[in-house]
Each structure stands twice: as C-alpha cells, then as structure tokens.
Amino acid sequence: MTKTLVTAIIAALTMIGGARPARAESLSLLNVSYDPTRELWRDINSKFIPAYQKSTGTTLDIKQSHGGSGTQARAVIDGLEADVVTLAMWPDTDAIRKAGLIDAGWDKAFPHNSSPYTSTIVFVVRKGNPKNIKDWSDIVKPGVEIVTPNPKTSGNGKFSFLAAWGSVTERGGSEAEALAFVTKLYAQIPVLDLGARGSTTTFVQRKIGDVHLTWENEAHLEVDEAGGAVEIVYPPISVLAEPPVAIVDANVKRKGTAAAAKAYLDFLYTKDGQEIIAKHYFRPIDAAVFAAHTATFPDIKRFPVTAIARSWDDAYDKYFGDGKIFDSFYKPKK
C-alpha cells in the first residue's frame, strides 16, 4: 500500500518534470500580454505557427498569459519566463528592462518604436445614445454615469485618464481646467474596476453606467457581445496609444529561443500580421493595410502622451505617482 503510493507520487513528479521539450525541432514560447489582446494573439499564433514550421522546420508551441499590464510586468520581473512581452504601454515593458531582463534600446529593436499597432480610447454608450454623448464635455453632464478602470492598476484606466486630460489641454485649455474636468469625471464613476475586462463586465453584463471609456478594440468586441444593445461613439479627440512589443533577452538566451521570438515579433509587421491586427480592431501601422480598413477606423485627432508630459516616465510620475495629480483629487468611495 505505502509502496504503491510512493511509486505513484514519484511517477507523478517525474511526469511533471518531463514536460520540458526534449528535441531541438520543437520549441515553446511564452507570450506575456495584457488583458484585451487574447483573441488577437490566438489568431496570430494560429497563422504564425504553421508559417514558421514551413520556413524553418521547427514546431512551435506558443503559450499565452493575460492580465493587467502592470501585474504582468511584475510577474515577468519576478521570474515568469516570458520569451516576449506585448504589454499595454511603454513604462511596463521598460520596468522589465530596469530589472535587467530586457536589453537597453528595446524600443528601437522593431520598426515604429517597437509598436506594431496603435489604438485609442473611445466611448461606448447605450443603444440610441440616450444621453446624447458626442464629446468629452458631454460625459461630465449631471446624471451621466461613467465606467472605466482604475488608472492606478490598469492600462485602459491610465489611457482613459490621459485622454480626458488631453481633451482639455490639447484644445487650448489650461492645466487647471483639465484638473477641474477630471475631478468632475472621476466623481461620476460608480465603480472603478481593476482591469479593462472587469469594466466591460460592469458595463455590459451588470448594465451599470451610461458611457464606458475603453480601448477601441474592446469597444468593438463589446458591441459584438452585447448584440446591438450598445454602440460606439468616437470623440473628436483622444489619446494615441502605442502598445510596444519586446523580446525578453535574459529569458530567450537561457532557453535558446531568440531566433523564434524574433521571427514571432517580426511576423506582426508582415502584411498577414497587419491584416490580423486590423481584423481585431487594432490600428495597423502599415499604410497599405490601414488604407484598406479606413472604414473601420474613423479619423480622429490623436495626441501622443508626450504632448501632455515630457516623457512616459514623467507622465507616470506627474499623473499617477503617489500623492500626485490623480491622488490629489480622487477619494475612493466608502
């Protein structure tokens, strides 16, 4: 009895230990990404894996991990063995560089500042737009409830804040006016969720709120899922988000996956990759592919984060640092 039990435990442990790839012609990659890109990467992987096998003979097994962008960066820093990171924003990826796992200059390693696509923050409203929301000033009217995640924990939350701020300062308003605007805005948020998907659930399933500030791709997904109960409104101005991709150099060196990881990220810049990106409502950077999808992507004015801060590090500190602008006016509801 005891002997069988011991044998069984040893067998189980060996099985677990034996899960590593044994042969050279099969490799395993781990892509650590943020919340709203699950469907995108699933699609990319299903196209990239056969293409890579055809050209190199190597069979790839690509695993995905998704969560809040900041949380995911933290996990990689703590030892999650990502081969590539495809996070929501520059500072999260750069935090991994600061921990010594990514080489300096990563944001120039791939074209377009290592961002294969761009995105922005848009409004999602209830069907028929009953509160008549067209511009940023409309969402802070009395009686309008806003849903968006917490800027402290979420990439979506940060970009929503920056978009709201810039909607004032990029149209000639002063910083004092911007502060007054966001103070009003965050007072009208009944639930501040931790991540993008949490907010989507709040808005669509729990039917809380009149307007949802969210990623453009998430907005489209939401319209599909809600079956026409909600619709997208494009504000005339919003923020330009450029989610970057990077190879985690320390990990690929250990695992011997550098070539495959590079090919994987290079694939995003090919015509096929850009088409998949556009299909999932992320804005492709390839001019020809973008031109073929202009109907999907209305032309709105998008300002970069560097327009309202000196750099990303500065923006992080100025707006979201402890005791800085966001903390100065936001008091959590009790």
Nearer to another protein, 196 or 285 (CB): 196
Stretch near another protein under the rule CB under 8 A, chosen from 75-83, 124-132, 183-191, 288-296? 75-83
Contact track, another protein, 99-138, x by CB under 8 A:
x---------------------------------------
Question: Is residue 91 within 8 Å of residue 311, measured between CB atoms?
Answer: no
Min dist CB 85 to another protein, Å, is 12
Yes or no: say if 295 and 234 are a contact pair by the CB < 8 Å rule: no
Burial of 227 (0-12, 13-18, 19+ CB in 10 A): exposed
Q: Which of residues 183-202 bind another protein (CB under 8 A)?
A: 197-198, 201
Backbone angles phi, psi at 173, to 5 degrees: -75, 160
- Shortest Å, Cβ 39 to another protein: 8
Kindly state whether residue 280 participates in binding another protein, applying the rule CB under 8 A: no
Under the binding rule (CB under 8 A), the answer on residue 180 touching another protein is no
The pair of structure tokens assigned to 314 is: 């500065």
The residue from 56, 58, 59, 77 that contacts another protein (CB under 8 A) is 77
Residue from the set 7, 9, 132, 327 that interacts with another protein by CB under 8 A = 9
Contact by Cβ (8 Å): 219, 296:
no
Q: How many CA atoms lie within 13 A of 332 on its CB side?
A: 7
Identify the residue among 25, 39, 177, 313 touching another protein (CB under 8 A). 39
Residues 6 or more apart whose CB falls under 8 angstroms from that of 172 comprise none
Nearer to another protein, 98 or 324 (CB): 98
Of the candidates 3, 14, 16, 334, which one interacts with another protein according to CB under 8 A?
A: 16
Confirm or reject binding of residue 30 to another protein (CB under 8 A): yes
Candidates 21, 26, 46, 63; binder of another protein (CB under 8 A) is 63
Residue type, 209: G
Out of 65, 129, 169, 270, the only residue in the binding site for another protein (CB under 8 A) is 65
How many separate helices (H) and strands (E) can be counted in the chain?
16, 12
Could you tell me if 300 and 238 are in contact, meaning their C-beta atoms sit under 8 angstroms apart?
Answer: yes
Task: Tell me the C-alpha distance between 117 and 119, whole Å.
Answer: 7
Tally of CB atoms within 10 A around 152? 16
Number of residues lying near another protein (CB under 8 A): 25
Retrieve residue 113's tokens: 């500042």
| Residue of the chain from 56, 58, 59, 64 that contacts another protein (CB under 8 A) | 64
Residue 333 · residue 187 · CB < 8 Å: no
Residues that bind another protein in the complex, under the rule CB under 8 A: 9, 12, 16, 30, 32, 35, 38-39, 63-67, 75, 77-81, 99, 197-198, 201, 221, 225
